[in-house]
């Protein structure tokens, strides 16, 4: 042993003794240790045997790794991930003490945060995909005596609205949505999110409820109708999206919002007259036939609007219809618009300031243009684009925590469930000072959860973010590869089917949430499915080549037999056998026989005329032995595929992270993460490259979990052969963290059944629910909150409502800590 190495080991021993002699550790607290006396010795004791100066594992030498700086930050990121996930040191080597590992991990985070603060920052530990880096056994099991938790809280922050929230707010200004109909509970209702159209676009449409006639087909109609797209961006495509740290509003978005604001205010004031000629507004389209001559397809003048007023008539309408302006009418318009955009009434100061802006604009531009410009400024108010949780009032407790109250607390509760402003009961409670305690929150949450007429789209959004089943329509498929799956590749039929499938899966989740029993298990193992007629193909079985040939022969034989029977009838000419035009038959697929009761799905209103999605669906049962739960539905399978094939790695990673609570380090930039292009080989055969020693450490956690889903092709059809060979559906759960789960599985159904019965999967589900509703990753200080939430879920028979009540009345939801005031801040 070299002298250099001896010094490292002796230093390490002193550090280990200090931990053993009663040193306590509070998660999240700044680690007051330095590189020379702590981190360097950790590396020497636990890392340098494998990552030393000569022949280091993975070509990563830590022999001369110095203190964290900009140059070596990538290496320290890798070390942080490997140590935190317990990948380093290897399981067969001596392991660091729990507290030592946590301190080393937190030290790295602290140093990377400090060093990179003016160089783009360090955010890895804040990413929801890294939430599983917190040890599951410590969150749900006993903690070492040396770990001392502090009462949890979340940081004071402001949340930027999501695109869905923002466009739903704007929609409230110009469109009336139907009230809840208990006889048709699946139809779109006031308070539901604005759905995407049949092409997957999120748009706000003007006056579609008044359109009674148009010229041209679906494309022409879509071009002619006034609409605006969602402005606020959402860069992430998988997993949880709505974390406060992810998004801001840039100058380009602000400019777009001002343009949209003008259109909205004019429509609030004048209705279709703001976008159409007066003659286009009539209940007698024939009376204007002389004005509708020529090819108007795609032009705004191709549309006829009814005279019936369908939009809300608001103080903005009253302001614009009167001859002049009064202080009363200006204040009424400002106050109304402010509350519709921010969900709270303005303070006296805010009301006066915005009214003054409108007055100045009117003085300079005249009433109409001035009022429109002045009122547009409200659309850029901070609280119209962000929801503050700054804990501005209240006295900090001894841990530096302040409980939200009044409007901040009321809007936090409202935001947890809804996209529109608080209902009258919640608003009254806030105004009367009855939103200041945990009991107040429990009362309002339980009330809203029990009332079906109060729509709660945020809950459904959680399941979209958790399962990622809503991406299928955005996966661009190679036309030839799609045709080989057995589904139609004509036009947009596949993509339309996928957007329909998303709405169908939404509805199935709502039905299971309505029952509120064993919610996760039901979602994973239900044999029920909400479907359209096209789903007979998607839930069908892809035939082998031999079965296709047999189907074609049988169809020809039946056609010939029919032709002969027709020829035998008196007075009929003898047709040539097989020449009679037959109904189009898909010989590639054995369709599923799906039948059941009628249900409805929440789809966009008639935004595309005859091309709009239809809400009518059937609640059916999937073919026995072929499917089980959402993970075997085409909506999920296609969402986790690519242009040419299945994506077993992505599917396996989803299961590893979302059901087993594992983590996968980021792929090093030196790795060429591509499978060989071998069309003659199956996906499993091409994935042999991931079994190379350097790759398998991570891929063994994903590939064996994703490959059982090879029993489906990349359009989601069940199959028994691939490239005319029996499809291999075997897989394995490896190093899951629960020895009872580990082992081989025969196919996806067996894998799902094991996971659905697992306590660990339910706990991981609770962790993701925590992240979604708290807007941050869990820390060890959140362990009591998570354990309480899990008990609430289990003790109430797998109730999502019970889980939500527990989370929304927890300290993590109720309390905020301002930066620098807490003993231990949440990361």
Rounded CA separation 687/664 (Å):
18
User: Are β-strands 589-590 and 721-722 bridged in parallel, bridged antiparallel, or unpaired?
Assistant: unpaired
What would the mean pLDDT of 255-278 be, rounded to a whole number? 97
pLDDT at residue 809, as a whole number: 98
- Give yes or no for residue 14 having a pLDDT over 50: no
pLDDT digits (tens, 9 = 90+) for 633-648: 999 999 999 999 999 9
Span 371-384, average pLDDT: 98
Closest CA to 535 of 568, 505, 515: 505
Would you say residue 236 has pLDDT above 80? no
DSSP calls for 304-343: EE-SS--S---HHHHHHHSSS--HHHHHHHHHHHHHHHHS
The pLDDT confidence band at residue 8, using thresholds 50, 70 and 90, is very low
In this prediction the pTM is 0.93
Average pLDDT over residues 264-287: 96
For residue 702, what pLDDT is reported? 96
> Is the per-residue pLDDT at 605 higher than 80?
no
Closest CA to 734 of 743, 723, 724, 726: 743
Using a 10 angstrom Cβ sphere, with 0-12 exposed, 13-18 middle and 19 or more buried, the burial of residue 702 is buried
| CA–CA distance, 634 with 717 (Å, rounded to integer) | 7
For residue 572, what pLDDT is reported? 60
Cβ atoms 528, 619 nearer than 8 A: yes
Q: Is 197 in contact with 492 (CB distance < 8 Å)? A: no
Work out whether strand 211-214 and strand 157-160 pair parallel, antiparallel, or are unpaired. unpaired
Query: Token pair of 381, please?
Result: 């108010």
Show the tokens assigned to 205.
Answer: 């449409």
Q: Over 70: is that where the pLDDT of 234 sits?
A: yes
Q: Which residues contact 738 (CB under 8 A, 6 or more apart)?
A: 660, 758, 759, 760
**Angle at Cα 133 formed by Cα 131 and Cα 139, nearest 5°?**
85
Selected residue with higher pLDDT from 18 and 143 = 143
Question: Over pLDDT 90: what percentage of the chain?
Answer: 81
pLDDT at 58: 79
* Tally of helices (H runs) and strands (E runs) in the chain: 32, 19
Q: Where are the alpha helices (DSSP H) in 687-781?
A: 693-699, 703-706, 748-756, 759-774
Rg of the Cα trace of the chain?
Answer: 30
Cβ-based neighbours of 766, under 8 Å, separated by 6 or more: 786, 789, 790, 793, 803
Whole-number Å distance between alpha carbons of 217 and 544: 39
Dist CA 661 CA 674 (whole Å)? 26
**Which token pair is 778?**
């869990």
- Nearest Cα neighbor of 50 from 19, 88, 13, 18 is 88
Residue 399 confidence (pLDDT): 92
Average pLDDT of every residue of the chain: 92
Distance CA 574, CA 567 (A): 5
Give start and end residues of each alpha helix (H) in 116-187: 136-140, 163-174
Burial of residue 705 (number of CB atoms within 10 Å: 0-12, 13-18, 19+) = buried
Q: How confident is the model at residue 1 (pLDDT cuts 50, 70, 90)?
A: very low
**Which residue's structure tokens are 């074609």?**
552
How far apart, in whole angstroms, are the C-alpha atoms of residue 494 and residue 747? Answer: 26
Q: Are 513 and 456 in contact (CB under 8 A)?
A: no
Region 439-463 average pLDDT: 97
Rounded distance between C-alpha atoms, residue 53 and residue 189, angstroms: 66
Dihedral Cα 746, 752, 756, 759, nearest 10 deg: 60
Alpha-carbon span 96 to 104, nearest angstrom: 10
Look at residue 610 in the predicted model and tell me its pLDDT. 77
pLDDT computed for residue 478 by the predictor: 96
- CA atoms of 525 and 749, how far apart (whole Å): 9
Closest CA to 19 of 29, 6, 8, 33: 33
CB 652 within 8 A of CB 702: yes
Per-residue pLDDT at 9 = 45
What is the Cα–Cα distance from 212 to 303, expressed in whole angstroms?
Answer: 8
173: CB partners within 8 A, 6+ apart? 264, 268, 312, 314, 337, 340
Q: What pLDDT does 6 receive?
A: 45
Q: What is the pLDDT of residue 246?
A: 86
Mean pLDDT of 185-208: 93
- How far are the Cα atoms of 112, 234, 312, 479 from residue 172, in angstroms, in the given order? 44, 22, 8, 40
Closest-CA residue to 279 (of 305, 297, 298, 308): 305
Q: Which two tokens stand for residue 804?
A: 């939500």
pLDDT of residue 2: 42
Q: Residue range 751-765: average pLDDT?
A: 98
Confidence of residue 4 (pLDDT cuts 50, 70, 90): very low
Q: What is the pLDDT of residues 725-752, one digit of tens each?
A: 999 999 999 999 999 999 999 999 999 9
- pLDDT digits over 278-327, tens only? 999 999 999 999 999 999 999 999 999 999 999 999 999 999 999 999 99
Summarised one tens digit per residue, pLDDT across range 149-181 is: 999 999 999 999 999 999 999 999 999 999 999
Angstrom distance (rounded) from CA 527 to CA 753 = 12
Cβ(764)–Cβ(136) below 8 Å: yes
Q: What pLDDT was estimated at residue 694?
A: 80
pLDDT band at 577 (very low <50, low <70, confident <90, very high): low
Structure tokens at 532: 């359209």
- Is the Cβ–Cβ distance between 131 and 775 less than 8 Å? no
A 10 A CB-CB count for 24 gives 12
Distant-in-sequence, close-in-space partners of 394: CB < 8 Å, separation ≥ 6: 402, 403, 404, 405
């Amino acid at each position: 042993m070299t002298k250099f190495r001896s010094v490292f080991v002796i230093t390490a021993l002193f550090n280990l003794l200090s931990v053993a002699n009663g040193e306590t550790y509070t998660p999240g607290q700044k680690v007051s240790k330095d590189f020379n006396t702590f981190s360097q010795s950790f590396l020497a004791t636990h890392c340098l045997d494998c990552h030393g100066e000569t022949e280091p594992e993975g070509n990563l030498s830590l022999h001369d790794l110095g203190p964290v700086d900009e140059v070596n930050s990538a290496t320290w990121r890798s070390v942080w991930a490997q140590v935190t996930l317990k990948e380093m040191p290897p399981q067969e080597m001596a392991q660091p003490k729990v507290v030592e590992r946590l301190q080393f991990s937190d030290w790295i985070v602290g140093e990377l945060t400090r060093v990179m603060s003016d160089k783009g920052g360090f955010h890895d530990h804040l990413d929801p995909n890294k939430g599983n880096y917190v040890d599951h056994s410590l969150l749900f099991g006993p903690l070492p005596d040396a770990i001392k938790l502090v009462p949890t809280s979340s940081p004071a922050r402001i949340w930027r609205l999501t695109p869905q929230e923002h466009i739903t707010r704007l929609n409230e200004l110009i469109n009336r949505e139907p009230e809840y109909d208990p006889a048709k509970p699946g139809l779109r209702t006031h308070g539901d999110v604005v759905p995407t159209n049949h092409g997957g676009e999120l748009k706000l449409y003007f006056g579609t409820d008044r359109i009674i006639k148009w010229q041209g087909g679906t494309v022409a109609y879509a071009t002619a109708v006034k609409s605006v797209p969602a402005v606020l961006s959402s860069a992430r495509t998988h997993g949880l999206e709505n974390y406060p740290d992810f998004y801001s509003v840039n100058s380009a978005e602000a400019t777009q919002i001002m343009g949209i604001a003008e259109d909205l205010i004019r429509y609030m004031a004048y209705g279709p007259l703001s976008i159409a000629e007066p003659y286009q507004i009539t209940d007698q389209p024939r009376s204007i036939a002389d004005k509708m001559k020529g090819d108007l397809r795609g032009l705004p003048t191709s549309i006829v609007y009814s005279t019936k007023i369908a939009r809300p008539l608001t103080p903005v309408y009253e302001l614009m219809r009167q001859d002049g302006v009064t202080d009363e009418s200006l204040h009424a318009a400002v106050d109304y618009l402010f509350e519709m955009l921010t969900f709270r009434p303005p303070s006296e100061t805010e009301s006066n300031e915005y009214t003054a802006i409108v007055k100045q604009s009117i003085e300079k531009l005249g009433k109409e243009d001035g009022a429109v410009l002045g009122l547009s400024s409200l659309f850029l108010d901070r609280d119209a684009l962000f929801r503050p949780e700054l804990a501005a009032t209240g006295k900090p407790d001894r841990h530096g925590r302040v409980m939200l109250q009044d409007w901040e607390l009321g809007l936090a509760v409202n935001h947890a469930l809804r996209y529109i402003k608080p209902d009258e009961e919640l608003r009254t409670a806030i105004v009367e000072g009855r939103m200041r305690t945990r009991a107040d929150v429990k009362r309002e949450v339980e009330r809203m959860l029990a009332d079906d007429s109060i729509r709660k789209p945020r809950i459904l959004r959680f399941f979209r973010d958790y399962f990622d089943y809503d991406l299928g329509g955005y996966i661009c498929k190679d036309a030839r590869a799609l045709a080989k799956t057995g589904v139609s590749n004509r036009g947009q039929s596949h993509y339309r089917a996928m957007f329909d499938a998303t709405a169908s899966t939404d509805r199935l989740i709502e039905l299971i949430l309505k029952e509120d029993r064993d919610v996760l298990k039901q979602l994973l193992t239900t044999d029920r499915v909400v479907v359209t007629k096209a789903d007979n193909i998607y839930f069908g079985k892809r035939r082998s080549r031999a079965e296709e040939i047999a189907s074609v022969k049988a169809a020809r034989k039946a056609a010939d037999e029919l032709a002969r029977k027709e020829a035998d009838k008196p007075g009929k000419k003898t047709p040539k056998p097989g020449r009679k035009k037959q109904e189009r038959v898909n010989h590639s697929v054995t369709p599923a026989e799906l039948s059941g009761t009628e249900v409805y799905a929440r789809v966009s209103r008639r935004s595309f005329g005859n091309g709009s999605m239809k809400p009518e669906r059937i609640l059916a049962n999937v073919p026995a032995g072929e499917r089980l739960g959402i993970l075997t539905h085409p909506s999920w399978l296609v969402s986790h595929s690519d242009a040419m094939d299945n994506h077993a790695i992505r599917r396996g990673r989803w299961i590893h992270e979302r059901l087993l609570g594992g983590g996968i380090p980021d792929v090093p930039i030196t790795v060429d993460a591509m499978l060989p292009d071998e069309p003659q080989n199956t996906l499993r055969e091409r994935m042999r490259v991931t079994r190379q020693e350097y790759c398998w450490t991570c891929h063994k956690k994903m590939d064996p979990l994703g490959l059982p889903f090879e029993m489906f092709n990349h359009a989601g059809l069940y199959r028994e052969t691939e490239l005319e060979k029996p499809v291999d559906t075997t897989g394995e759960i490896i190093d899951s963290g629960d020895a009872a789960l580990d082992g081989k599985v025969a196919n996806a159904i067996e894998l799902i059944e094991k996971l659905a019965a697992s306590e660990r999967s339910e706990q991981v589900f609770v962790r993701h629910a925590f992240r979604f509703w708290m807007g941050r990753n869990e820390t060890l200080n959140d362990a009591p909150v998570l354990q309480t939430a899990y008990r609430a879920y289990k003790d109430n028979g797998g109730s999502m409502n019970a889980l939500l009540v527990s989370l929304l009345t927890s300290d993590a939801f109720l309390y905020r800590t301002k930066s620098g005031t807490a003993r231990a801040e949440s990361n």
